[in-house]
Structure 1
Amino acid sequence: MLFSARGPGEDMENMNRRDRPFLTIQRNDSSDNLVFRMKNEMRNIKYKPVDYQQLRALTEAKKLASASAKLKIRKAMLTSKLSKEQTLIKQHKQVWWQEYQRLNEVRCKMESEIKSLLNEENIGNECLCDLTNFEQELSEQQCTYLKNVINPIQQLRADLKYRQHHTLPHSHPHIEFNSMKVLEEVDFVKKQLKTVFERLSLEQQRIENDLSDWSIKILDHSLEEKTNLLSELPIELESLECPYPDLKSSILSEFCKFTQKYQKKLQDFNLQLEDIYRNCQLSEEDHWIYQAILDQYPGDLFGRRTLYLDMLQRYFPHKSRHDLVEHEKYCDQYRFAIEQRNILIANWNKNRKDFIQKAVLTLIEACATHEMESTLAKDKKKQQELCADLKAKVLQWRAHQEEVARLEMEISARRREKEEEKEKLWKKKELLQRAEKKKKIKKYGAKKKQKWQEMEMRDLQRLEELKKLMAEQSLKDRERVKYRQELLERRLMEKKEAALQEAHEDKERARRLEALRKQVAVVAQFDPVRMMSDTMASKARMGIEIEEEFILQKPLFTLNTYNEQQIISDPRLRFELALREAGLHRTLYAKEILPKISPQKPPRKDMESTVFKI
């Protein structure tokens, strides 16, 4: 490419000239005369001389105005910066005060717990004596430190303040000698304090190192316990006896494969944590300060990240914002890896328990099948013996049945003869009784007619009473229906108001979400290669560059259960839903009627459980 030697101003001027319309310039004698007159200093009324002093004054005024405006802008920027700094410091103070109150409450709580722990009687005498002796030793050391270090410093400070305020210059001739002596005494005290503080800092560093070593040992011990727990076989499976050794060995081998997968993933997480810890740029003390600052600012605080980054830049002025953001990313990665590792261990514990339960159930079922097979063999032998006994009993029963049939035939013939004789006697008696019955029937008819009349009168009276009662009941029913209708309308209005309120809340929530979405929207740069290339979804749909995903929690067995349509078609569920909609699911009627409703299809007899009948 060729670049022109002209500047950007000339290029813009040429472009502006190109955009102008075409002009035809005519030169005549008048223009030549004008040039001639100007050269010969022949003045005209149209053209006046330029006042350069006035122009310089105008330019100076413009410069002064621009300088004052620039100064005002600088002052405004400085005031805005100071106000921003003051608001940040104010927010920091609020957070510091809340953290101070929280730490003070935690301190009081811990002190009360320590006192209650020391006052308990279940602690051993040796441990209690050691703790009390250590507390007494610490209190004595504190008293000696206050007596030997703090009190002399306070006395010296008070003496210096007194001399500063009450001793006037040139009032005493020996003031120079006294000032030199005081300075020597102050230097001596500073040296003593420096040695004391160095000794205390060394002791503090030694205690912190001991505590860090103990914490590392505890963490290593817990990690070793977890890894040993992953590698060890469960005692429940080893202690159970199985009549089929192949089944038990296959279960143990399956458990070993199951644990090896989790061990590999746990090692990957540990390596990832080591890499993140190795790449961390801050030291342990700086990282502790960093974590303490992050813990001061709660997660629901507005502008939390801005506040703690500002505080970190104040604590670490030698670190840039980029380094702090990188360390924040490393901390997030480390925390995410720790959470994933804990989730992996929790999933392993859960799957281990499920595997042990299923393995124990399979071993118990194997023992039960073995016992069932042995009992079936015994039952078969007993059944053959019973068949022989039953065959003999059947032959004997057949002989008894033939004898019983012969005796029943003889008895039935004798009974038939007796019944014929009784029938003849009964016909004779019936003829005599008919005449008497006719007389009794006439008397009975008269009494019956009288009773019917009395009953009709009584029924008419009862009918009138019932009509009155029904009229009163109908009035009560109308009032009750009216009350129920008003109650139903009131409930419907409340439901409509609740629905409108919920819709308004949904709209408000959607509006806030849209505002948040606009705030965090990503503005992607123009990338034609990425735009024209295949997406991950299209590759996944076409099956390109996709590895088969390993399903970690794949179920061991397929379950055949009811679908949604079968559950909804159950009359028991539908009746219960109707009662709930009417608000009657807690009444006595619901308690009585729900157990009486039968399912759509009665359960099969072979599916009936016998667990609770044993």
Structure 2
Amino acid sequence: MGAWVKRIFYSSVMAARGLQTFITSYRAEDSEKLVLQMKNGLSSSRYRPAEHKRLQALIDAERQECDLMGQKVQRTCCAAKATKESSLLRQHRQVWSRECPRLQKAKQQAEDALQDFLEKIEPNSATNAGLFSLQEYGLSLVREREAFRRATMEPVQQLRDELHLRLYEGQQLPHGEHLGHLDGVKQQIKAVKDHQGVIITNLHEEQQNTEEEIRSLNLEKYFSSSSDILVNFDKVPIEVLDADCPYPELKESLIQAFQSMSESYRSRLQSLQEQLQNTDRFCGWCSDDHHRFQFVESMYTQDIPRHRALCMDMLQRLFPGKTRQELVEHERLWDSQRFTQTQLTVVTQQRQRDLEELLARALVTLQEAKHAHQEELQLHRDRQHQQEICWHLKEKLQQWRAQQEEVAKLEAAIAARQREEEKARMKREKEKEAAVRLQHKEKVRQFYLTKEKRREALEQREEERLATLRSVMEEQARRDRLRVQLRADMLLRRQEERGELELERQREEQARQNRLEALRKQVEVVAEADPVRMTANTKAWSSRVLDKEYQKPLYSLNTYTDTQIVSDPRLRVEQALREAGLHQSHYATEVLSEIKPLKVPRRDTKSTLKF
């Protein structure tokens, strides 16, 4: 009961206010008071009776407006969906338009390469002359393709042209005859479609038979597999095994290095092969679906904007029975398989490269070991020869040492006598230097005493002069203050006089301007507007145009321009020398005489006179 009363009251209030405002404040006490008032009676003058018909009309109008709004939103969503679909289709067409020429070009290149191969091959003997049957087989395929085109495509094109003609003729007939005419056209189209369906079915069966025939040829055995690579991994190069090494430990270490490297790469390849064996070749899909998936992924490369979204949209269109999660999972498996195959190829290449490098280093090491062994033998022979030479030299050395000892004793005696004489000489020189130093000290002391007396006398004179100057400066400062005060008073009086003169001058100027303005008003001319005269040519301009031929120069000048004069290198060099102050030197004369002009002068301008 309370909820119904509150709803009626709210509706009546909104109707009274014209649906312009909304109740934003609500309290539980107000609702309880309102229920009590409604139970006691609605005869109070504060409330009006509810207008149910008007409220129902408003509700119907609001409901109809909401329905219209929903329909509009639905149409907008449909239009947006259609726009998005058309945009996706347009982007798909752009990708296909870019992919189609590339495929055609690849097809043409493959056909050209195959044709060149068939033209260039020559049989080595009479047994393999059957290679030329490939050319005949290619020509037979071309003839079959042309026959197939005439049997399938040309009838369709002829039917299309005939249908266009018959439809045009049928439009000219009455309505009843036109409908009968259309029934015949439909039957003919249906017959052609059935014929084309049979042809397509036969082509699919032929394609499957050809694929099974290719699989039955067992061509996989002609391709190198990773198992063959693993078989040859543990083989040490014959160059290392058959090498003649004077150090057996070195050869054994090289063989172990090859075996350890092969073992490390074997473990890596085994792990990659196990990863490949865990996944199917087609990642759990049939071969046709997987090939179509690969082709779509190759079309949408990373240089295309939004390639990821476009690729997923095209895959969902091609495989409507598969969910997006299944497509993403298949893509992940395919990427993992490709990555594993790439790793397998890279590991094989790395193993080959490392094997070549290790073999090269091993051969170099073996060659260095041979050279080192030969050097050791040569060193042993040289050492024996040196020992013999050393025995002979040892005897000579003993004789030389005895002679050197005797020479050293004599030199020591001579050096002792020379040291005693040098000590005596140094003692005499030190006594002489001490006497000279005492004389110099006395002279220096006398000099400093004289200098100190002069400084004291100078300081005394400077203090007396400073006292005299301070008294004079104080007297001058007092006079300057009096003079400044006098000047300030005079300046103030002059400023007052100039102000009075300026006021008097302004009053006279104002009176003069008033008189001039009165005179201007008396003699002013009132001219009428004449736009023709304002836009016409002036007399001066007309006379200048008429007398233009008289304003030409009296004669023409045939001389050099400023650009030609400045471009001469002799002028620029002379200017630089003049700025440096060297234009009158002998160096400037030699430099200017060696510089040639840009253009060689004519022979008729050269003078034959010699000055």
Structure 1 length as normaliser, TM-score?
0.51
> 1:312 offset after TM fit, Å?
0.3
Matches of 2:231 and 2:581 in 1, distance apart? 79
Matches of 1:75 and 1:253 in 2, distance apart? 78
Residues 210 and 275 of structure 1: is their aligned pair in 2 closer, same or farther, counting only changes over 3 Å? Answer: same
TM alignment of 1:458-469, pairs within 5 A: none
> 1:134 offset after TM fit, Å?
1.6
Which protein has the larger Cα radius of gyration, Structure 1 or Structure 2?
A: 2
> 1:85 offset after TM fit, Å?
0.7
> 1:164 offset after TM fit, Å?
6.1
Greater mean deviation of Cα atoms: 156-165 or 88-97: 156-165
Q: Is the 8 A contact 1:243 1:370 kept in 2?
A: yes
**Which residue of 2 is the match for residue 113 of structure 1?**
113
AA at the equivalent of 2:114: I
Cα displacement string for residues 254-313 of structure 1 (whole angstroms, at most 9, x for unaligned residues): 311221111111110111122233793322211111111111112122111100000000
**Which residue of 1 is the match for residue 358 of structure 2?**
355
**Which residue of 1 is the match for residue 346 of structure 2?**
343
Q: Is the 8 A contact 2:283 2:330 kept in 1?
A: yes
**Which residue of 2 is the match for residue 333 of structure 1?**
336
**Which residue of 1 is the match for residue 89 of structure 2?**
89
Cα displacement string for residues 163-199 of structure 1 (whole angstroms, at most 9, x for unaligned residues): 6665769999xx89x969x95x988876665554334
> 1:106 offset after TM fit, Å?
2.2
Secondary structure in 1 matching 2:302: coil
* Ranges in structure 2 where 5+ consecutive residues have no aligned partner: 1-24, 401-573, 583-611
Cα displacement string for residues 553-581 of structure 1 (whole angstroms, at most 9, x for unaligned residues): xxxxxxxxxxxxxxxxxxxxxxxxxxxxx
Residues 366 and 473 of structure 1: is their aligned pair in 2 closer, same or farther, counting only changes over 3 Å? Answer: farther
Secondary structure in 1 matching 2:303: coil
> 1:212 offset after TM fit, Å?
6.2
User: Could you tell me which of 312, 321, 326 is aligned with 1:323?
Assistant: 326
Residues 226 and 351 of structure 1: is their aligned pair in 2 closer, same or farther, counting only changes over 3 Å? Answer: same
Higher RCO, Cα 8 Å, sep 6+: 1
**Which residue of 1 is the match for residue 493 of structure 2?**
none
TM alignment of 1:187-226, pairs within 5 A: 194-209=197-212, 217=220, 220-226=223-229
Matches of 1:80 and 1:120 in 2, distance apart? 60
> 1:132 offset after TM fit, Å?
1.7
Secondary structure in 2 matching 1:230: coil
Residues 270 and 33 of structure 1: is their aligned pair in 2 closer, same or farther, counting only changes over 3 Å? Answer: closer
Matches of 1:233 and 1:202 in 2, distance apart? 52
Residues 369 and 213 of structure 1: is their aligned pair in 2 closer, same or farther, counting only changes over 3 Å? Answer: farther
Cα displacement string for residues 397-432 of structure 1 (whole angstroms, at most 9, x for unaligned residues): x9xxxxxxxxxxxxxxxxxxxxxxxxxxxxxxxxxx
TM alignment of 1:436-585, pairs within 5 A: 472=577, 475=580
Q: Is the 8 A contact 2:246 2:370 kept in 1?
A: yes
Matches of 2:26 and 2:57 in 1, distance apart? 35
**Which residue of 2 is the match for residue 99 of structure 1?**
99
**Which residue of 1 is the match for residue 374 of structure 2?**
371
> 1:377 offset after TM fit, Å?
4.6
User: Could you tell me which of 245, 249, 252 is aligned with 1:249?
Assistant: 252
Residues 216 and 262 of structure 1: is their aligned pair in 2 closer, same or farther, counting only changes over 3 Å? Answer: farther
Q: Is the 8 A contact 1:230 1:263 kept in 2?
A: yes
Q: Is the 8 A contact 1:276 1:334 kept in 2?
A: yes
Identity %: 27
**Which residue of 2 is the match for residue 57 of structure 1?**
57
Cα displacement string for residues 454-492 of structure 1 (whole angstroms, at most 9, x for unaligned residues): xxxxxxxxxxxxxxx9x9599399xxxxxxxxxxxxxxx
Q: Is the 8 A contact 2:282 2:290 kept in 1?
A: no
Residues 56 and 264 of structure 1: is their aligned pair in 2 closer, same or farther, counting only changes over 3 Å? Answer: same
Residues 186 and 77 of structure 1: is their aligned pair in 2 closer, same or farther, counting only changes over 3 Å? Answer: closer
Matches of 2:247 and 2:37 in 1, distance apart? 131
TM alignment of 1:120-139, pairs within 5 A: 120=120, 126=129, 129-139=132-142
AA at the equivalent of 1:266: L
Secondary structure in 1 matching 2:320: coil
Q: Are 2:72 and 1:72 aligned?
A: yes
> 1:244 offset after TM fit, Å?
3.1
Matches of 1:345 and 1:165 in 2, distance apart? 69
**Which residue of 1 is the match for residue 517 of structure 2?**
none
Secondary structure in 2 matching 1:243: coil
AA at the equivalent of 2:349: A
Q: Is the 8 A contact 1:313 1:321 kept in 2?
A: yes
Instruction: Give me the CA root mean square deviation.
Output: 4.5
**Which residue of 2 is the match for residue 277 of structure 1?**
280
Secondary structure in 2 matching 1:105: helix
Matches of 1:360 and 1:34 in 2, distance apart? 113
**Which residue of 2 is the match for residue 604 of structure 1?**
none
> 1:252 offset after TM fit, Å?
1.4
Count of residues in correspondence between the two structures:
372
**Which residue of 2 is the match for residue 555 of structure 1?**
none
Q: Are 2:145 and 1:145 aligned?
A: no
AA at the equivalent of 1:61: A
Residues 342 and 376 of structure 1: is their aligned pair in 2 closer, same or farther, counting only changes over 3 Å? Answer: same
> 1:315 offset after TM fit, Å?
0.2
Residues 71 and 380 of structure 1: is their aligned pair in 2 closer, same or farther, counting only changes over 3 Å? Answer: same
AA at the equivalent of 1:137: S
**Which residue of 1 is the match for residue 306 of structure 2?**
303
> 1:53 offset after TM fit, Å?
0.8
Cα displacement string for residues 334-392 of structure 1 (whole angstroms, at most 9, x for unaligned residues): 2322333333223322322222222222222222233333434555566678889x89x
Q: Is the 8 A contact 1:266 1:344 kept in 2?
A: yes
Matches of 1:26 and 1:187 in 2, distance apart? 80
**Which residue of 2 is the match for residue 483 of structure 1?**
none
Residues 23 and 169 of structure 1: is their aligned pair in 2 closer, same or farther, counting only changes over 3 Å? Answer: closer
**Which residue of 2 is the match for residue 234 of structure 1?**
237
> 1:135 offset after TM fit, Å?
1.6
Residues 147 and 356 of structure 1: is their aligned pair in 2 closer, same or farther, counting only changes over 3 Å? Answer: same
Secondary structure in 2 matching 1:298: coil
Structure 2 length as normaliser, TM-score?
0.51
**Which residue of 2 is the match for residue 576 of structure 1?**
none
Q: Is the 8 A contact 1:242 1:248 kept in 2?
A: yes
Matches of 2:37 and 2:108 in 1, distance apart? 105
Matches of 2:376 and 2:340 in 1, distance apart? 52
Residues 374 and 214 of structure 1: is their aligned pair in 2 closer, same or farther, counting only changes over 3 Å? Answer: farther
**Which residue of 1 is the match for residue 566 of structure 2?**
none
Secondary structure in 2 matching 1:231: coil
Matches of 1:313 and 1:203 in 2, distance apart? 29
Q: Is the 8 A contact 2:233 2:266 kept in 1?
A: yes
Residues 257 and 166 of structure 1: is their aligned pair in 2 closer, same or farther, counting only changes over 3 Å? Answer: same
> 1:32 offset after TM fit, Å?
9.0
Residues 85 and 212 of structure 1: is their aligned pair in 2 closer, same or farther, counting only changes over 3 Å? Answer: farther
**Which residue of 1 is the match for residue 514 of structure 2?**
none
Q: Is the 8 A contact 1:276 1:333 kept in 2?
A: no
> 1:158 offset after TM fit, Å?
5.7
Greater mean deviation of Cα atoms: 110-119 or 320-329: 110-119
Matches of 2:194 and 2:140 in 1, distance apart? 27
Matches of 1:85 and 1:238 in 2, distance apart? 70
